[in-house]
Amino acid sequence: MAAIVKRQPTDLAKQIFEYAPAPESIDHVKIEPRYGLFIGGKMVAAHSKKRFPTINPATEQKLSEVVEADEVDVDRAVKAADKAFESWSAMAPSRRARYIFRISRILQERARELAVVETMDGGKPIKESRDVDIPLAAAHFFYYAGWADKLEWAFPNRKPRPLGVAGQVIPWNFPLLMLAWKIAPALAAGNTVVLKPAETTPLSALLFADICMQAELPPGVVNIVTGGGKTGSVVVTHPGVKKVAFTGSTEVGKLIQRSLAGTGKRLTLELGGKAANIVFDDAPLDAAVEGIVNGIYFNQGHVCCAGSRLLVQESIAEPLLEKLKLRLGTLRLGDPLDKNTDIGAINSKAQLEKIEELVESGVEEGAEIFQPECKLPERGYWFPPTLFTNVSQSYRIAREEIFGPVLSVLTFRTPAEAVEKANNTPYGLSAGVWTDKGSRILWMAERMRAGVVWANTFNRFDPTSPFGGYKESGFGREGGRHGLLPYLELV
């Protein structure tokens, strides 16, 4: 034991945690060289002649080519959805439920295939897509399937009615899961959808198109158009779209909110965050360290509700940071398909550049940077787990959403100061509190201006649990009974 103690943290990590490569096989996955669009129940050739590659961010290799859908394509999709709305909304709700249950089951049956594609297209570790993204997506469909024929019980004294065609635009951090969050409640409520997956992660949505066909979902109920920001803008502003749901950056969310002014379209936004993860001196430190790591390094920090600001009580800052740095040294960064990988690839070159730029600003503004010794693969986009101390609230790394594996550490002395600092942000998506004292948990939970508060845990998600933001993190909830409301008119 004594010999080990003398070693540097990272050496210790290597000695204890040397693992042989354990890559997930990809031979059961078939990715087409080119994809069309999913409109009216089948894959169709696009009107747009523009195509763009989707690449594996861990290898920079092209996986496939997808369409940059144009106005004509989006119009076709909306028309197909509008046509399908008539029969889908009039269908006996219990029949509607059956289709959604089917989708959930097929997601479970094809879980491995979906997990591998998700990891190849987005760069996230296979253990996350396998254990989090895909099971939660399936659970989400299962949950909302059950609501389809119970809507009359959901909102007292009101008759719920579907809205029509929902235009949905989702991000690249949890592609299939965000698709599920959008499509499942929309379908259960009797709407039809046109969904645009993120530019860098279209593949799981295109696989989902295949699943819709396998489930024999009536044509046009789900339509999927690929493309970038321009396509997204065409989807949300199309006059046939009655309801818009967007998950992504606050910047784009504001653009969408502005562009829908005066249209009467219903809108829900799930935008950015800069969550405080607050650790009190009586918190179980080892559990808190795991929570901090899960809070900011989960999915390479590409999480809107990531605990990107660690607020630690001054009296335990030193021992906590020591443990945290030690733990960072044990995180395994590398091949996302390896089952032992903790930190995968950064989703895109553009995102990597954004992270690098913000990290540079942190150093320039005077924060102290810590990165464990970490060998980055030669190809692909990578960023080591990073931690900043000596951070002032005014620094960009304490104010702006980095959306990468970068933690800013601030300290506080009293609970009131923790509340003040935690709420000192235009965002309000999530917050974390670590303490052994029950009354303090509830006191803190009351005061956090955030839609989700994790106490002695972090980054937990469940289809029954409403999720969404305060302030500039957006409005509307996804998940639970509350997640139905954005897709219904209450008469």
Residues in the site for another protein, rule: CB under 8 A? 139, 155-158, 250, 253-255, 257-258, 260-262, 269, 271, 426, 441, 445, 448-457, 460, 462, 464-468, 470-475, 477, 480-482, 490
Pick between residue 334 and residue 486 the one whose CB is nearest to another protein.
486
- In this structure, are residues 184 and 212 in contact, taking their beta carbons and an 8 Å threshold? no
Tell me how far, at minimum, the Cβ of 246 lies from another protein, in Å.
Answer: 11
- In this structure, are residues 166 and 191 in contact, taking their beta carbons and an 8 Å threshold? yes
- To which H or E segment does residue 98 belong? helix 93-109
- In this structure, are residues 175 and 209 in contact, taking their beta carbons and an 8 Å threshold? no
Q: Which residue has the tokens 């818009």?
A: 244
Catalytic annotation, pick one of 118, 270, 472, 478: 270
Tell me how far, at minimum, the Cβ of 262 lies from another protein, in Å.
Answer: 3
Pick between residue 163 and residue 355 the one whose CB is nearest to another protein.
163
Beta strands in 390-451 (DSSP E): 406-412, 430-434
Quote the radius of gyration of the chain (alpha carbons, Å).
23
- To which H or E segment does residue 442 belong? helix 438-447
Closest among 63, 174, 66 to 118, alpha carbons compared:
174
How far is it, in rounded angstroms, from Cα 404 to Cα 295?
Answer: 11
Pick between residue 10 and residue 457 the one whose CB is nearest to another protein.
457
How far is it, in rounded angstroms, from Cα 465 to Cα 193?
Answer: 23
The Cα diameter of the chain in Å comes to 73
How far is it, in rounded angstroms, from Cα 470 to Cα 452?
Answer: 9
Pick between residue 110 and residue 471 the one whose CB is nearest to another protein.
471
Helix 229-237, helix 71-90: angle, nearest 10 = 50
- Dig out the tokens for 319 from the structure: 């021992």
Pick between residue 309 and residue 477 the one whose CB is nearest to another protein.
477
Tell me how far, at minimum, the Cβ of 106 lies from another protein, in Å.
Answer: 20
Catalytic annotation, pick one of 304, 305, 374, 478: 304
Tell me how far, at minimum, the Cβ of 308 lies from another protein, in Å.
Answer: 18
Pick between residue 55 and residue 484 the one whose CB is nearest to another protein.
484
- Beta carbons within 10 angstroms of residue 315's beta carbon: 12
Tell me how far, at minimum, the Cβ of 416 lies from another protein, in Å.
Answer: 12
How far is it, in rounded angstroms, from Cα 77 to Cα 223?
Answer: 6
Tell me how far, at minimum, the Cβ of 3 lies from another protein, in Å.
Answer: 36
364 is catalytic: no
304 is catalytic: yes
Residues with catalytic function: 270, 304
